[in-house]
């Protein structure tokens, strides 16, 4: 039976809920968290669609877009639609696209054409797949240069999506997460909460700060920690994937993400 907390909530005439995964930094676990959410949604009967507006770095089976499609059980042939802007250099998408726009004081005004191209691809993808929720993964942190001389907050606004903060569990994440919360609120975007990802093997890296990160951030800004993703060495193997789906299947998590109050 479909979990009531994950019940489909859109028809062909209503746009699906869009969640924009905003990182506190690069390599903070955004893709791992998004993959876990995709598996969790599928386990609960919720149809979730991944979307990566812009990605940089080498292509291949371990690239972020490829991992997202694999977690959603969508053919890799749909990669051009679900990740419309690709850049080979491992740089922020905007720098990989046209660095002069961020370095040259005489550069022309920002060009919104890349945003419009990504929006068109997103619209087509949602029409094709009819998801209940679309999980949009950003690039790097909130203030990251994006194609056309734009910045990520412009994309968040254009996509009319709800921001969900993803931070790396460990030393430094309190500062990074609080700054991201403050910046989103200053821009008029209120996140429903934040998610933390343990990106380093706890058996190798001893970091006592991990124990208190979630509670300190919650208390400092009154924003709930929606979940902590444990370290997984290989998320592509079946056992870890199923374990993550079970751990992240809590109805309260999805009720928060989808904007519905939890009732005990």
Mean pLDDT by 10 residues, the chain (264 residues): 45 77 93 91 90 95 94 95 96 95 90 97 97 96 96 96 95 95 96 91 78 94 91 63 57 80 34
Q: Is residue 3 part of a domain?
A: no
Q: Is residue 10 part of a domain?
A: no
Q: Is residue 53 part of a domain?
A: yes
Q: How far apart are CA 205 and CA 187, in angstroms?
A: 36
> What is the residue range of 88's domain?
20-258
Contact 192, 257 (CB under 8 A): yes
**What per-residue confidence (pLDDT) applies to 230?**
85
Q: Is residue 48 part of a domain?
A: yes
Spatial CA neighbour of 177 closest among 28, 15, 44? 28
* Annotation marks residue 17 as catalytic: no
Q: Is residue 8 part of a domain?
A: no
Q: What is the chain's alpha carbon radius of gyration, rounded to the nearest angstrom?
A: 18
The enclosing domain of 102 has a CATH number of 3.40.50.300
> How many structural domains compose the chain?
1
Strand partners, 228: 196
Count Cβ atoms below 10 Å from residue 161 Cβ, excluding itself: 22
| Active-site residue, selected from the candidate residues 17, 30, 47, 52 | 52
Spatial CA neighbour of 174 closest among 157, 159, 189, 194? 194
Cα 126-129-132 angle, rounded to 5 deg: 75
Q: Is residue 264 part of a domain?
A: no
Q: Is residue 94 part of a domain?
A: yes
């Amino acid at each position: 039976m479909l979990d009531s907390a994950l019940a489909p909530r859109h028809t062909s005439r209503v746009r699906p809920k869009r969640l924009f995964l905003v990182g506190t930094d690069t390599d903070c676990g955004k893709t791992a968290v998004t993959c876990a959410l995709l598996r969790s949604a599928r386990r609960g009967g919720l149809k979730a669609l991944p979307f990566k507006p812009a990605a940089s770095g080498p292509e291949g089976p371990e690239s972020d877009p490829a991992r997202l499609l694999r977690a959603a059980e969508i053919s890799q042939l749909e990669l051009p639609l679900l990740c419309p802007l690709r850049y080979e250099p491992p740089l922020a998408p905007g720098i990989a696209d046209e660095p002069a726009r961020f370095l040259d004081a005489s550069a022309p005004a920002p060009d919104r054409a890349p945003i419009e191209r990504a929006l068109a691809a997103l619209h087509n993808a949602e029409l094709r797949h009819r998801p209940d929720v679309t999980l949009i993964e950003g690039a790097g942190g909130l203030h990251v240069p994006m194609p056309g001389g734009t910045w990520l907050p412009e994309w968040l606004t254009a996509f009319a999506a709800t921001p969900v903060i993803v931070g790396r569990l460990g030393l430094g994440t309190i500062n990074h997460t609080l700054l991201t919360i403050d910046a989103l609120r200053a821009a008029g975007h209120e996140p429903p909460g934040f998610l933390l990802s343990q990106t380093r093997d706890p058996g190798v890296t001893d970091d006592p700060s991990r124990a208190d990160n979630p509670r300190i951030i919650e208390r400092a800004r009154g924003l709930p920690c929606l979940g902590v993703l444990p370290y997984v060495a290989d998320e592509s193997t079946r056992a870890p994937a199923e374990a993550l789906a079970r751990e992240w299947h809590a109805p309260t998590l999805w009720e928060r993400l989808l904007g519905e109050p939890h009732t005990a």
